[in-house]
Structure 1
Amino acid sequence: MNQTIAREDIESLLRWYVDQGIDEAIGEEAIDRFAAPPPQAAPLPVQPPAPAAPTPIRPLPAAPTPLRGPVPIESPQLVEDARALAQRCNSVEELEAAVRAFEGCALKRTAKNTVFADGVVGSPVMIVGEAPGADEDRLGKPFVGVSGQLMDRMFDAIGMSRERDLYITNILFWRPPGNRTPTLAEQAVCMAFTRRHIELAKPKVLVLAGGTAAKSVLDTTEGIMRLRGKWTNLALDDGSTVPTLPTFHPAYLLRTPASKRQSWSDLLSLDKKLRELGIR
C-alpha cells in the first residue's frame, strides 16, 4: 500500500535523529529495508566427513614472540602507558602535546579534532565535563555548542567567564561516535591524562559537570542525583587536594529545565566557596 509521508513528519524524524546524536550517515547509499530479499541458492549436498588421519607427534611450540604494533584498547597496559606519559609532563603545554600525539585511544581514529581545553590556564575554577559533542569536535574546543552557551550564561550570572575566570576541559579528548556514553576503557585511558591535567592547572576549585565526569574523577558508583551540590576534597597523585563540586551537565538542563533551580543553587554555593577562599 502506497502512503504519502507528510513533510512535517520527515522533518520531525530528522530532528529526532539529531537529538539522539545521529548526525552523519555511515554508508554512501541508503538501504531499502522493504525490498524483497534476493533468491537464495539451493544448498550444496552435504558430503560425509573423510576419515581422520592419525595426528602426528609434533614438538612443543617455541615461546611466543612479543607483540608489535598497537596494543588492544582493552589492555590495562595502555592505562599505565598513558599515566607514565602524563607524569613526565611538567606543564599544561607539554601535556597537551602528549595528548595530541597519543595513539592509545580508539576514539581518536573517528574524531575530527583533539579537544583539549579552553579558557585561561591558572584560573581559580576548572570545569571538567564528559566528552566533546559534534560542535566541539568540529571546532576543537570544549563546551562551544548549545549546552556550552548555556553554561556561559550560567557562570555569567555570578560574574564569571571563560575569558577571565574559567578553565574548561573534559575527561575525554575525542568525541565518541554518535555522542554515546564513553566506555570504561576509554575513560580509564583518558583519566590518566585528566588527573595530571588537574594537577598542572592547579585550580582553587574544581567543578564536575555531569554524572559521567563526576563518577570517573571521584572514582565512585554514585549517580549525579546524589553527588550534585555536595562538596568533597579530591586527592590528587601529587599529594595535593582540591575542593570539588559535582553539578548537572548543561545538556541535561536543556532536556530538564526544571533542574535549573538546583544548578543555580550549586552556582551560589560555588560563589560562596570562592569568597571563603578569598578569591572573590
Structure 2
Amino acid sequence: MRQAGLGRALAVLAGLLVVLAGGVSCAKKPPPDPPQPEMSALDAVPDRGELRVCSTGDYRPFTYHDPRTDRWTGIDIDMAGDLARKLGARLTIVPTQWKTVADDVAADRCDIAMGGISIELGRARKAAFSDPYLIDGKAPITRCATLARFQNLDLIDRPGVRVVVNPGGTNEAFANERLKRANVTVHPDNNTIFEEIVANRADVMITDASEARWQSKQHPELCAVNPERPLSFGPKAYLLPRGDVVFQQWVNDWLRMSIGDGTYQRFSRTWMN
C-alpha cells in the first residue's frame, strides 16, 4: 500500500513539474513587437511628391476657384503653394465643401485643408487645427443705403428682415443659433451670394469680417457693418489630420516662420489692398 501511495505522489509531483516547466517556457517568450506607427505626412508628402490641399474655392480673399479657367487663387492658395515648395512637393488642390471639409481631412482625401477655415469645435472633433494665423469673427454686410438699419444683431433679427446665408459652414451655424425672427434663406453658391444683396433680393448677410471687408471693396454698393467689432470670435487656421502631431508641429513652425519673415503679409497684401 505504501508503494502504491508513493507512486501516486510521484506521479502528481511529475505532473506539477511539467506544468511549471511549461509556465517557465511561456515566461521566456519575447513580447510581441509593438505596432509600427503610421508614416507622418511630413515624410509621406515628400516621398509621394505631392501635397494634397482641400479647399472650397468660394471664399475670397482666401480661396477662389474660377470655373471658366479652372484656376485657383487666394491668400491661402498662395500659402499652400509655399507650403508645397517647402516640402519639396507639387501642389494639388482637392475641391471640398464647408460641410465636408473636416470629414475629407479625416478620410485622408487631403493632407491639409486651407482657405479661411474658422476654428470650430465640431471640426476639431474630426481633425486637428494648426495655430491660428488670423483673428476674425462674424460681421454683417448690407447695402450702404441700409447701413443705419442694421447696426447690431437686434436690429437684424426682426420679422421681415431678409438674411441670406451660404450652407454648411460657420455662417449658417451662426444664423441658426442667433437669428430667431428674421427670414433666413440659404443660397447655395457663396461666390454669387453677395449679388443677392446688391440686387435687393436680400437685406443682410452675416459672414466673417475679413470677407465682409473684401466684398465691400469689390461692390461699392455694399458696406461691412462694424467689422472692427465682430459679433463672435472666430480665429482662422489650417485643418490637419488628427493624431499626426509631427506634421502638425512642422506646419506650425512653417506658419510662424511665414508670418515672421513677411511671406503671409506679402500674399495677403495682393488681395487686401
Q: TM-score category by the smaller chain?
A: under 0.3
Structure showing the higher strand proportion among its residues: 2
> Which structure would you say has the larger Rg?
2
TM-score calculated relative to the size of structure 1: 0.24
TM-score calculated relative to the size of structure 2: 0.25
